[in-house]
A and B are shown apart, each in its own frame.
Chain A
Amino acid sequence: MPDRTLRVEQLTRLEGEGGVRLLVRDGRIERAQLRIFEPPRLFEALLRGREFTEAPDITARICGICPVAYQMSAVHAVENALGIEVSGPVRALRRLLYCGEWIESHALHITLLHAPDFLGYASGIDMAREHPDAVRRGLALKQAGNDILALLGGREIHPVSVRVGGFYRVPRKRELAALAERLKWAREAALETVRWTSGFEFPACDRDYTFVALRHPAEYPFNEGRIASSQGLDIAPREFEAHIDETQVRRSTALHAQLRAGGAYLTGPLARYNLNFERLSPIAQQAARAAGLTARCTNPFRSIVVRAVEVLYACDEALRIIGEYEEPEAPACELEPRGGMGIAATEAPRGLLYHRYRLGTDGTISEARIVPPTAQNQAAIEEDLRRFGTQFLRLPEEQLRQRCEQLVRNHDPCISCATHFLQLEVLKR
């Protein structure tokens, strides 16, 4: 059989610009490359020389879908350098804000970007004509997430009220009470979304991923925890760089991350779910089991169900936080600049987001390092294409192309975040 090259020049239904190239030899995929050609963003250099107080607002601009994740990793890392720990209602509000971002980001991906793959539509708009109720529900869920961002963050995209030490403004109890009514509807809609996605057909594609996610003693992780892996890694965020290497590859403007001890790994909803199932609230665990999931899920196509379970959890957790909320005495704690190194990792919708800052004694940022989840997932996505793509090679070219795109969309990559990052090319030799 002659060698063959399959190219997807421009991946669609993703954030950012990239493509896929497959080299097929003897009926098997010999090489799979995720090509990220969106230009470098240079944010780490942009941060040098800026005040420590500017880190959350500058890094929020890395992404319009997950600005909260950047703000949260930034404030925790800077606070780590300043020796501050935020607790009480302000800490709870940060978690609530993160719930909003998971809801809006996951609802968009499930409904308009990923579900069309399973139901056989080229776009969310085509799917909407025949599945209007599911799309309306998904959009209303996204709007519920937006509502949390607008109330806590001041606006839906690139919220402005997050600051090192807390918030510029915190909500009144009565404002959160109004939000709770919408979130009760959202929780039911999320439950229905778990049922809806669990009815899709999933190809038999399981593999033994190395999952990496935060683990917290008591919580499903958003803001805090140790970095754990399914292979026994258990480290503080401060030890991240001692265990994970980033290397440059010619095909990508995003650095590739690898575990020094064991190569490619996966972050994101599947990793969080597998490492933290027992930390999900009872309603989320029950919904997952009713959807046919166990505490272990290693089929990347089922990530759409796991994402729906996380939306349900985020709605439930948001309602819990609102129910227990007491207005804090101050929206933020006092800050004194000091020199040092600050490190934090939080859970963006797409996975682990690592920030490190070195501050001068006057609080100026002298060095910044940001490792986004999509950069970490590139090698695992390529491995999915290599392992699972072969079974789709006999499909007609258009269907093969669609399956390859789906293998990438399973992980909801955010190329714009990853560049320092999709196009399908299949080379057959």
Chain B
Amino acid sequence: MSGGTVRRRVIGLGNPYRGDDAAGRACIAELRGRLPVDLELIESDGEPAALLALLAGAGEVCLIDACASGLPAGTVQRFDAATAALPSLGGATSTHGIGLPEAIELARALGMLPRRCVVYAIEGLSYGSGEPLSEPVRTAVRAVAEQIACAGAA
């Protein structure tokens, strides 16, 4: 926050080369040019220190990530992470077990969590090397982008 304005960020997480894991980043691509200019659109590989720095510097964030919770592919779940911890969304697959839920809880423990923190989790189908998004996830990405664009963020 600076000069009385709140920094607002939409952060898409994932690996662009691993199929549906790129869902969050694909959402950012969908949103380019569709949101107020003060809203920062950020793609992230989810590295925890960098992600915490992004959370710490914002007053409002919207995070989009792929998940593997066992629901049908393309299912979108929306969580208000400012008020409650994220449920397990398929286990941490990142290095040293620090995934998005752990990064959010670390930010909360450190008083660095933005006062508004919404998470969209898109259920993936396939995470193969070099694969494109699967059809159900592509559809879900467009729907999440539409929802964020209409709300002006989250």
Contact = CB atoms under 8 A, between A and B. Distances in A.
B106 interface: yes
A125 B97 contact: no
Contacts of A157: 45, 47
A381 B47 CA distance: 28
A174 interface: no
A139 B106 CA distance: 10
A129 interface: yes
B128 to A, nearest CB: 15
A124 B106 contact: yes
A223 interface: no
B98 A112 contact: yes
A63 B96 CA distance: 11
B31 interface: no
A251 interface: no
A14 B49 CA distance: 17
Interface residues of B, number: 19
B106 A125 contact: yes
Interface in A1-39: 12-15
Given A135-B110, A136-B110, A157-B45, A143 B53 contact: yes
A142 interface: yes
B105 interface: yes
B95 interface: yes
B25 to A, nearest CB: 13
Nearest to A123: B102
B50 interface: yes
Contacts of B49: 104, 108, 139-140, 142-143, 146
A140 B111 CA distance: 15
B96 A129 contact: no
Contacts of A156: 45, 47, 50
Contacts of A104: 49
Nearest to B95: A64
A416 to B, nearest CB: 8
Interface string B19-60: 000000000000000000000000001011110110000000
Contacts of A113: 96
Interface string B104-133: 011001111000000000000000000000
A146 B97 CA distance: 18
A125 to B, nearest CB: 5
B53 A13 contact: no
Interface string A62-90: 01110000000000000000000000000
A136 B53 CA distance: 10
A155 interface: yes
Interface string A138-180: 0110110010000000011100000000000000000000000
A13 B98 CA distance: 9
B96 A15 contact: yes
Nearest to B112: A136
Given A132-B111, A146-B47, A139 B52 contact: yes
A132 B95 contact: no
Contacts of B105: 125
Contacts of A155: 45
Given A132-B110, A132-B111, A156-B45, A65 B96 contact: yes
A233 interface: no
Interface string A104-121: 100010001100000000
Given A139-B52, A146-B49, A156-B47, A108 B109 contact: no
Contact of B102 (A125, A139, A140): A125
Nearest to A64: B95
B109 A125 contact: yes
A400 interface: no
B93 to A, nearest CB: 11
B50 A143 contact: yes
B54 to A, nearest CB: 11
Nearest to B104: A125
B95 A15 contact: yes
A58 interface: no
A128 interface: yes
A128 B95 contact: no
Contacts of B98: 112
A128 B106 CA distance: 7
Interface in B52-76: 52-53
13 contacts: A12-B97, A14-B96, A15-B96, A65-B95, A108-B49, A108-B96, A112-B96, A125-B109, A128-B110, A135-B106, A139-B53, A146-B49, A146-B50
Interface of B: 45, 47-50, 52-53, 94-98, 102, 105-106, 109-112
Given A104-B49, A112-B96, A136-B110, 5 more contacts: A12-B97, A124-B106, A143-B50, A155-B45, A157-B45
